[in-house]
Amino acid sequence: MKKIAPIFVLLILLIQNPLAVLATFQDGQGSRYTKTPLLSDREIAAMAAELNGIIAKDTIIELARHHRVQASSGFSRSAEYIASKAKEYGLEQVQIERFPADGEAVYHTLKSTPGWEAERGKLVEVEPNRVGVADYDEMRVALADYSQTAEVTAELIDVGAGTSAQDYEGKEVEGRIVLAGGNVAAVHALACKERGAVGILSYQQNQVTGWSGDYVDNVRWGHLSPYEPENKFAFMISLRTAAKYRERLARGERIRLQAEVKAAMQPGYYDIVSAVIPGTDPGEEIVYTCHLCHQKPGANDNASGAAAILEVARTLATLIRRGEIRQPRRTIRFIWPPEINGTLVYFSEHPEIVSRMKAVVHCDMVGGNFEITKSILHVTRTPASLPSAINTVAEIIANYVIAGSVKAASGQGVEDGLISPQGSKSSLVADITPYEMGSDHDVYQEGSFRIPAIYLRDWPDVFIHTNNDTPANIDPTKMKRSSFIAAASGYFLARANAEEASRLADEIFARALARVPRLRDRARSLEASGPEGAEEGRNLIAKSLESDAMALSSVLALVPGDEGLESKVDNLINQLSGSWLFLTGQFIERRRGDRITFTFEPKEEPKNKKKEKKPRNPKEASRPRSVVGDYSRVPSRKVKGPMNVYYYDYLADRASEEDLSIVRRIGSRPGGGRILYEILNLVDGKRSARDIRDFITAAYEPIPVEEVAGYLQLLEKVGVIEFEE
C-alpha cells in the first residue's frame, strides 16, 4: 500500500527526455515513424504494398461455394482449401485437427453438437397448384440445419409467430405443416414436439437492423436445435413468399405441400485449421482468428474474416521471407475454427498453447461494401473486465487507415488510401466501439482465459445470415483496409520493442487523461444527488483509475523485464492518480502482484456504513437480504468456459426454471447478456460480490448488489464457482 503524494505539475513526467520530443522517432534501419508511433513508415509501406484485396476476395468466392455448417462435409472442404493455401503461402505447422462432434463429447462448458449432412430437401405445393416452394439443390438455406429425413404431404396452417401457446389456440396442427415467423427451433418445440405438426415452413427474420423488413426477398439461414434428436424438418422462405401464403390461407384456401427431405444428424467432427509463423521466442504467441463456418454463401459472415486472416498470413510470411520486415519475437498463430464451439474445443484440447497466447486479433465480417450492405466496420474494444493496451494499438492503426481513406477520397493524395485497384475509392466507414458480444472473442476474453482481443466486425449487414450474403457485396478495398488494421496491430504486438512500447504507454496515458474532465463531471453530478450518489461518484473514479492503471501496466507484457519501461509506466500511473488526487483529495493505492486498486480514505465514512446502507428501492428491502452472507465473501472459478456456448446453454442444462429467474432478470436489463458475462469474468479469487457490483456499476450501469449476489449463488449451486470460507 502506498499513499500518493500530491503532484503539482502533472505533465512534466510525460516528457521524460525533453530532447526526444524534438527529434523524429527512427527505427534501427533509419526509417521514421511519421504515420504511426508504433510501426515505422518502412513497415507500414511494406504491408500496404503487399496486402491484396483481390486475393482476399478470391478466397471469399471460393469459400462461398460451400455450405459450411459446423461438423459437416461442406465445412471440411473449406478447411481443406484454407490449409492448402496456408501451405502454399509458406506457413509452418499447417494442420487440420479433428475433434468429435457427436452430441456427447464435452469441451469445458460445451456439450458438443452432432454433425449434420443433407442430401436433398424439396418442398412442392401440390394443391391447389403444382409449384416448387423451396429446394436445397438451388439454395442451401432453403432447408434449416438439423432437419431430418421425411417424406410427407400435408396441409399448411398459419400459426403466426408460433413461439407462444396462444399462437396455437383453436388450431389443429397435428399432422400438418405450420407456417411460422418466429425462431425455428422454438416453433419446433411447440408445434412439432408438443402438438404433433409434421414440419415447418418458416419466414424467421434476421437480427434487428435499421433496415429490418425492407429486404423482403432475403431467405434466412435457420436452424433447428442440434440437441433435439427428434427433429422433423423446416423449410425457409422469404418474407415476400410467406406474405402470399398467409394471404391465401386467410382467404380460406386449402393448401397442401409435399416435403421430401433426406438429411440426418450424425456423429461428426469439428475441423480446426491452424498454422504458424514462428517467432524467435516460441514461449509467447499472438493469435489471429475468425470463424470459418456458416451458410452458403456467407460471404461477409464470415468468409471475409477467414480470408482476411489468410491474407494477413500470406503478407506477413512473404515480407518476413523477403526481409522487408523483421521476424517477430512472438510466434504468430492463425486459427480457422467453427464459431465459438471450435474455439472452446481448441482451448480444451490445447491448454499449453493457450497459456502462451498473449493477445488475439479476431475478424468476423470485415469486407461488406458500405453502399450495399450498410456495414460500418467497428474496431471493438476489450470488455471492461479486461483493460488492455491492445485497445490503443487498434485505435492508432484504425485511425491511420480511416484518415488515409478520407484523404484519398477527398483528392488529397492516395499514399495512405490502401485502395485496391478493383475496389471502391470511398472513405472507410469505421469507428472504435465498446465491447460487444457474439463471436469467438467472447471465449478468449472469458474470465477463465483472459486473452485480450482486437475484434473487427461489420455491423449492420442487411444480408447477414441470408442467401443474399454474397461475394458481390464484398469490396476489395475494404478487405485490404481491414486486413491492414489486423496485420499492423497483430504484427506490432508480436514484435514491439521497448521504445515503441514506451510510446504506446504515452498514448494510453494521453487517452486516460483526456477522460478525466468528463469522469469528474459525472462523479460530481452523482455526488450532488445525495450521500449514496457521493459513494457512487467515488466508486466511478476509483474504478476508472483502476482500469486505466491496468491498461498502462499491460504494456509491460510487450517487453517483459525492461526496467526503463517499468519505471516509465509507474510514473505514468502516478501522474494519472496524481491528477485525480489534485481534483478530489486523498485516496489510497494498493498493489498486489499485477493488481492495482484505488480506494478513498474512509475518514468521513464510518467503516460499516456500506453495510447499513438502505436499498434505494423499497421492494428490494422486503426481499431476503442476504443470499451470500454480507457480500464480502470472495468467489473463485472452478469450471472453465463461458456459460453460453453457441447453441448450448450451460446453466439452463443444469438449473431449475426457478433458479434461472435471476438470469432472466439480469438478462432483461439493457445489455443484460454482457452484464451476466462480466459478472462471471470478474470472479478472480480476489473480488467480493460487492467489489464486482462496484466494478459493473462504474463500467456499465448501476446494478443492485443483490442481483450480482443472486447470480453468483446460482453459479455456486451448479458448481461453476466456489466461495472461500
Rounded CA-CA distance 402/222 in Å is: 35
Dihedral sign from CA coordinates of 573, 579, 583, 585: positive
CA distances (Å), origin 377, targets 302, 399, 427, 471: 14, 12, 12, 17
Rounded CA-CA distance 651/509 in Å is: 40
Nearer to Zn ion, 302 or 688 (CB): 302
Nearer to Zn ion, 302 or 427 (CB): 302
Q: Minimal distance in Å, beta carbon 365 to Zn ion?
A: 6
Q: Minimal distance in Å, beta carbon 181 to Zn ion?
A: 23
Residues 362-381: x where in contact with Zn ion by CB under 5 A, - otherwise, as a string? --x-----------------
Nearer to Zn ion, 364 or 562 (CB): 364
Nearer to Zn ion, 366 or 680 (CB): 366
Q: Is 256 helix (H, G, I), strand (E, B) or coil?
A: strand
CB 426 within 8 A of CB 370: yes
Nearer to Zn ion, 50 or 440 (CB): 440
Nearer to Zn ion, 301 or 500 (CB): 301
Short-list 479, 396, 484, 346, CA closest to 63: 479
Q: Is 442 among the residues that bind Zn ion (CB under 5 A)?
A: no
Applying CB under 5 A, the span of 199-207, 357-365, 524-532, 642-650 interacting with Zn ion comes to 357-365
Applying CB under 5 A, the span of 86-94, 344-352, 360-368, 543-551 interacting with Zn ion comes to 360-368
Q: Is 621 helix (H, G, I), strand (E, B) or coil?
A: helix
Q: Minimal distance in Å, beta carbon 634 to Zn ion?
A: 36
Q: Minimal distance in Å, beta carbon 439 to Zn ion?
A: 6
Rounded CA-CA distance 695/25 in Å is: 38
Applying CB under 5 A, the span of 159-167, 324-332, 359-367, 527-535 interacting with Zn ion comes to 359-367
Angle in degrees, 0-180, between the axes of helices 476-495 and 53-63, rounded to the nearest 10:
110
Q: How many residues bind Zn ion (CB under 5 A)?
A: 3
Question: For every residue of 195-252, which 3-state class applies, written as one string?
Answer: CCCCEEEECCCCCCCCCCCCCCCCCECCECCCCCCCCCCEEECCHHHHHHHHHHHHCC
Cis peptide, bond prior to residue 615, ω within 30 of zero: no
Rounded CA-CA distance 221/211 in Å is: 18
Q: Count Cβ atoms below 10 Å from residue 606 Cβ, excluding itself.
A: 8
> For residues 85-144, which are near Zn ion according to CB under 5 A?
none
Nearer to Zn ion, 364 or 694 (CB): 364
Residues 276-305: x where in contact with Zn ion by CB under 5 A, - otherwise, as a string? -------------------------xx---
Nearer to Zn ion, 57 or 294 (CB): 294
Q: Is 480 helix (H, G, I), strand (E, B) or coil?
A: helix
Q: Minimal distance in Å, beta carbon 291 to Zn ion?
A: 6
> For residues 302-341, which are near Zn ion according to CB under 5 A?
302
Residues 472-501: x where in contact with Zn ion by CB under 5 A, - otherwise, as a string? ------------------------------
Rounded CA-CA distance 642/693 in Å is: 19
Q: Minimal distance in Å, beta carbon 72 to Zn ion?
A: 17
* Cα of 457 vs its chain's centroid, Å: 8
Q: Minimal distance in Å, beta carbon 172 to Zn ion?
A: 40
298 phi and psi angles, rounded to 5 deg: 50, 50
Q: Minimal distance in Å, beta carbon 290 to Zn ion?
A: 8
Nearer to Zn ion, 301 or 506 (CB): 301
Nearer to Zn ion, 438 or 671 (CB): 438
| Residues in contact with Zn ion by the rule CB under 5 A | 301-302, 364
